[in-house]
Amino acid sequence: MNVDMKTRSHWLMGYGLPRAMLKLLARRGDPFAQLLIDSSLLNNVYHLVEQIRQRGRISAVVSNGWVTADAQIVRDVLRDGRFRTVKPRDRAMFRVLQRMLAKTNPGVLTGLEPPSLLVVDPPEHARLRRLVSRAFTPRAIDGLRHRIQEIANTLLDDLNDNTDCDLVANYASRIPIEIIAEMLGIPRDETPYLYAFADRTTRLLTSTAPSWRDFQTATAALREFEDYLATHIERLRDHGADNSILSTVLQDSDLTDIEVRMFAGLLLGAGFITTAHAFGNAVVALVGHPDQLARLQAHPEGWPNAVEEALRYDSVFQIGFRVATETLQIDGHTVRKGSAVFLLIGGANRDPAIFERPDEFDTTRANARDHIGFGTGIHVCLGAPLARMELHIGLQALFERFPQLALAGEPTLNNSTLLHGIKHLPVNLGPARVITG
């Protein structure tokens, strides 16, 4: 297989789903095949999901797989111990990627292989999560509230004299990066390096078919960051504890060095791109619904629920995956051992059986928090409370400072079916409101 064929193979084409067959099915109008294979249809995601939903609560796909956009089934599968996470060995395309990694950057750590919390299963998952969750107590997260507000205010001060800007680059992505740097105990003058690393590595997640150059850039960055983390961890140990979460993990847990580095890398990967994407999606939704934004500006106590509605309405994570470890029944269908189940998270968050008028953006929606944007079950996002706090503070501060903010061009979406988000968000800020007190 030549390099071009490798890099053009969608990494979702696992479980024996041949790309040629998917292309044929897509040309024939199969919505699931179109969803997986055609990144040009990103703006059409929810239309395709609804076509899949019309096939039933769960429906078969080629090569012994299943797909569902049913919120209850998605929730049940994520909580069911008879399903496990996806492993590199499960996917033909992933095996290609593993061989490429071994050849070009042997031993490089990624969040897609053990000991990453994303892919380990019980009992190992319980051990790792218990050890790192000590650093994510409500008290520890709440202690970041004032810092998030300070960072948001400082960034907005820097934008006061600007008329037009890219809101992702100048604001949305910088809040989580600043916070993650502090959580990792990284010196402030090294934060730009952290941002550069995150930008290079997330290209593999935010593109349906990353180029060979992007692959080389990302894996080189992963290797570089792993070396940096090893040095940084030794620095924390040698110079005594600070107040960072990484120091807490180092002091209070029995994690191995490789597990600590994986935790730190996962914190950056999961905490940066997903929060920045959620922020951009929320801004577009709010600007596109000025009545909702006006209500929030008049009743700011509604912001926490508005964040939940934004996470539901336009989910960052669009597709999850699980593999059956035994043959079982779902809604009258036999799901055999080893079968893959594609969980359409974004579709579940617009399930009309759960959410009334699901395609409407309503910041007062009573059950907005019932979304599955952060997952559920043992793999529920550990950083969900932090992401909620960053979005609440960052969005409220933005629209209080710039109440007339408007889009100044078409947002640039990621070229990815897995992660739905905005890479560039041109805005006209309008006049800044003077904040007193």
Do residues 344 and 67 touch, judged by C-beta distance below 8 A?
Answer: yes
Q: What's the pLDDT score for residue 202?
A: 66
Which among 132, 130, 165, 160 is positioned nearest to 280, based on CA atoms?
165
Q: In what order do the strands lie in the sheet with 164-166?
A: 164-166, 426-428, 406-407
Confidence (pLDDT) at 266:
76
* Model confidence pLDDT, tens digit, residues 386-426: 999 999 999 999 999 999 999 999 999 887 777 888 989 99
**Contact residues for 374 (Cβ-Cβ < 8 A; gap 6+):** 311, 380, 381, 384, 387
The series of mean pLDDT values per 10 residues for the chain, 437 residues long, is 32 49 81 77 82 96 88 98 81 45 51 65 78 75 92 95 92 93 87 78 59 73 83 81 76 75 77 90 97 96 98 93 95 94 96 97 98 93 92 98 96 82 94 72
Q: How far apart are CA 381 and CA 375, in angstroms?
A: 6
Q: For residue 115, what are its two tokens?
A: 């000991």
Burial 6-43 (b: 16+ CB within 10 A, else e): ebebbbbbbbebebeebeebbeeebbbbbbbbbbeebe
Residue-level pLDDT at 426: 97
What is the sign, positive or negative, of the torsion defined by CA atoms of 143, 146, 147, 152? positive
User: pLDDT, tens digit, for every residue of 225-251?
Assistant: 888 888 888 888 877 656 787 887 787
Residue pair 392/303 in contact (Cβ under 8 Å)? The answer is yes
Instruction: Measure the CA–CA gap between 432 and 437, rounded to whole angstroms.
Output: 16
CA atoms of 396 and 410, how far apart (whole Å): 23
pTM, two decimal places: 0.87
Closest CA to 191 of 160, 223, 219, 151: 151
**And the tokens for 373?**
């944007």
Tell me the backbone φ, ψ of residue 400, rounded to 5 degrees.
-75, -35
In the structure encoding, which two tokens stand for residue 295, read together?
A: 């209500």
Structure confidence at residue 225 (pLDDT) = 83
Instruction: Round to whole Å and give the CA distance between 156 and 396.
Output: 12
Confidence (pLDDT) at 97: 44
Q: Which residues face 424 on adjacent strands? A: 412
Rounded CA gap, 222 and 428, in Å? 35
Cα 92 to Cα 16, 322, 336, 343, 429: the distances in Å are 6, 16, 19, 19, 47
DSSP letter, residue 300: G
The single-letter DSSP state of residue 317 is: B
Beta bridge partners of 323: 84, 340
The enclosing H or E element of 179 equals helix 174-183
- Of 295, 342, 302, nearest in space to 320 by CA: 342
How many angstroms from the chain centroid is the CA of residue 362?
22
Close Cβ partners of 376 (under 8 Å, ≥ 6 residues apart):
75, 78, 79
